[in-house]
């Protein structure tokens, strides 16, 4: 009941919910790209499983928050006392960042040089196995979940509030995942932009693993601006097609 009557807890909940929602969108975009390689009949199930795994992983990690905090302890260092020091969290962020960059760059290369979306159904260039996609989604969830949970633990000290914010944000992602996925896959330029964002986010995780801290607004500000520009481009192309169709109809008569 303290949560219902405490303004501070409400502010903490809403702030954490907004942050989890932003991180969740990143997760959904990448899951959409991965599931885009599956046959149409399997995509919705893969998205649901992927987001359910993300929710489960976050709740489990929140339940062992003390262990998560312990991951910040230095495992080994290179050089003298002022040299590079890496913790368990740093290693996970480093490997996760490398995975994101590798996967995004591979997808971009496939779009530019490979068979891409034009490959016949059932070929390696067009589809992937369900199990392989789920494994990749699980690796992705591990990276985003760790970053999300560490942020949550630093903002709120009540487990119930953290779980509520995480559950609500991922619940909304499950509702809109299909629409987000369809939109990303329908517009090639949006998909390329999303892949470029993932390269940026992966590079940020790599930098974080080496104790180079980059403020979130520095990352998400340009991303929001690029999305706004792309929205204008999509609107312009849609209206251009409508004008061309309106001009062509009288000529056909």
pLDDT tens digits for range 184-240: 778 888 888 888 888 888 888 888 888 788 777 777 788 788 888 888 988 998 899
116's tokens? 């891409």
The pTM (predicted TM-score) of the whole model is 0.68
Which has the higher per-residue pLDDT, 154 or 202?
202
Q: How confident is the model at residue 82 (pLDDT cuts 50, 70, 90)?
A: low
Higher pLDDT, 250 or 235: 235
- Please report the beta strands in the chain, taking only residues with DSSP state E, as ranges in sequence order: 74-78, 84-87
pLDDT-derived band at 150, boundaries 50, 70, 90: low
| 253 vs 128, more confident | 128
Quickly state the pLDDT bin for 155 (edges 50, 70, 90).
Answer: low
Sign of CA dihedral 129, 133, 134, 136: positive
The number of beta carbons lying within 10 Å of the beta carbon of residue 61 is 21
Is the per-residue pLDDT at 160 higher than 50?
yes
Instruction: Return the minimum-mean-pLDDT range out of 108-112, 143-147, 185-189, 218-222.
Output: 143-147
Is residue 85 scored above 70 in pLDDT?
yes
pLDDT of residue 126: 46
Beta bridge mates, 87: 74
Match 């159904």 to its residue by tokens.
Answer: 121
Condensed to tens digits (0 to 9), the pLDDT of residues 33-59 reads: 888 878 888 888 888 888 888 888 888
pLDDT at position 151 is 65
Mean pLDDT score of the chain? 77
> What token pair was written down for 175?
């509702």
């Amino acid at each position: 009941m303290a949560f219902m009557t405490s303004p501070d807890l409400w502010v903490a909940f809403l702030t954490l919910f907004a942050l989890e929602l932003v991180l969740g969108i990143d997760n959904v975009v990448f899951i959409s790209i991965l599931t885009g390689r599956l046959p149409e009949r399997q995509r919705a199930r893969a998205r649901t499983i992927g987001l359910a795994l993300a929710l489960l992983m976050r709740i489990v990690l929140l339940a062992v928050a003390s262990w998560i905090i312990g991951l910040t302890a230095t495992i080994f260092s290179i050089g003298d006392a002022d040299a590079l020091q890496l913790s368990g969290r740093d290693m996970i962020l480093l490997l996760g960042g490398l995975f994101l960059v590798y996967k995004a760059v591979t997808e971009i290369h496939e779009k530019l040089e490979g068979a891409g979306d034009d490959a016949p159904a059932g070929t390696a260039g067009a589809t992937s196995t369900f199990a392989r996609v789920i494994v990749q989604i699980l690796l992705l969830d591990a990276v985003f979940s760790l970053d999300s949970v560490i942020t949550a633990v630093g903002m709120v000290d009540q487990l119930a509030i953290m779980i509520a914010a995480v559950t609500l944000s991922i619940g909304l992602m499950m509702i809109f995942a299909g629409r987000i996925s369809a939109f990303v896959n329908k517009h090639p330029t949006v998909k390329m932009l999303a892949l470029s964002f993932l390269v940026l986010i992966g590079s940020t995780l790599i930098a974080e693993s080496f104790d180079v801290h980059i403020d979130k607004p520095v990352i998400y500000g340009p991303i929001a601006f690029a999305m706004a520009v792309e929205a204008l481009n999509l609107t312009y192309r849609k209206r251009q097609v409508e004008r061309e169709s309106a001009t062509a109809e009288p000529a056909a008569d």
